[in-house]
Amino acid sequence: MVLGICPQHSKRFLRALTKEKLLEAKHSGPRLCIDLSMTHHMSKKELSRLAGQIRRLYGSNKKADRPFWICLTGFTIDSPLYEECVRMNDGFSSYLLDIKEEDCFSLFPLETLVYLTPDSEHALEDVDLNKVYILGGLVDESIQKKVTFQKAWEYSVKTARLPIQEYMVRNQNGKNYHSEILAINQVFDILSTYLETRNWPEALKKGVTSGKGYILRNSVE
């Protein structure tokens, strides 16, 4: 008889390993902050979409070899978004992440922050373990031009955009539609893949879906 690991034990072991990796990220980075301070005017449909994106982001992070420590900021447990997260995400209240009512700008030293916004002039070149990267908790319907960029500017915080323009080109499509605005879980998948591979084309391929109207430069033949 071949001795195997009991499935319950292996599941428990994997859970413990995931927890250990997540807690390690809390102390040594990388760290990611989701700014949820702009959700007040969102419709129920938009809140549901955002809650779904948070669920997918957390699921991807748990599977990552090098997970981020995630902090949800500007987030109160009596908010409609919190209710939606609990309704849509099984076990949300036991997620291994930080939930903070304070804004990200008051939680971390400003010089450590990098707000990721498609309106930035600066392309992100690398993921620095000493920085805290911020994603604005917005969904397509609620995006107002430059709202996250403006917020970072008010606090004199550095901004960066994903290097889509550097590694990708516009693909001709019937709708003539091209957008660099991605869901937070798509941005996360790019950051997570980059951290693992140190390869931007590979990372961008992971998160920039064909519907956005961009393809990698080297695939244009």
* DSSP code per residue over 168-214: EEEPP-TT--------HHHHHHHHHHHHHH--HHHHHHHHS-GGGTE
Burial label, 218 (beta-carbon count in 10 A; 0-12, 13-18, 19+) = exposed
Residue 19 lies in a domain: no
Give the CATH number of the domain where residue 95 resides.
Answer: 3.40.1280.30
In a domain, 114, yes or no: yes
pLDDT at residue 178 tops 70: no
Residues of the domain holding 125: 24-162
Q: Is residue 217 part of a domain?
A: no
Residues making up the chain, counted from first to last: 221
pLDDT value of residue 175: 61
Enter the pTM of the model.
0.87
Does 65 reside within a domain?
Answer: yes
Residue 143 lies inside a defined structural domain of this protein = yes
Cβ–Cβ under 8 Å, residues 185 and 57: yes
Provide the number of structural domains found in the chain. Answer: 1
Residue-wise pLDDT tens digits, 127-137: 999 999 999 99
Q: CB-based burial of residue 153 (10 Å sphere; 0-12 exposed, 13-18 middle, 19+ buried)?
A: middle
User: What phi, psi does 163 have (nearest 5°)?
Assistant: -80, 50
Residue 34 maps to a domain: yes
Position 135 in a domain = yes
Asked if the structure places residue 125 within a domain, the reply is yes
More reliable by pLDDT, 218 or 203 = 203
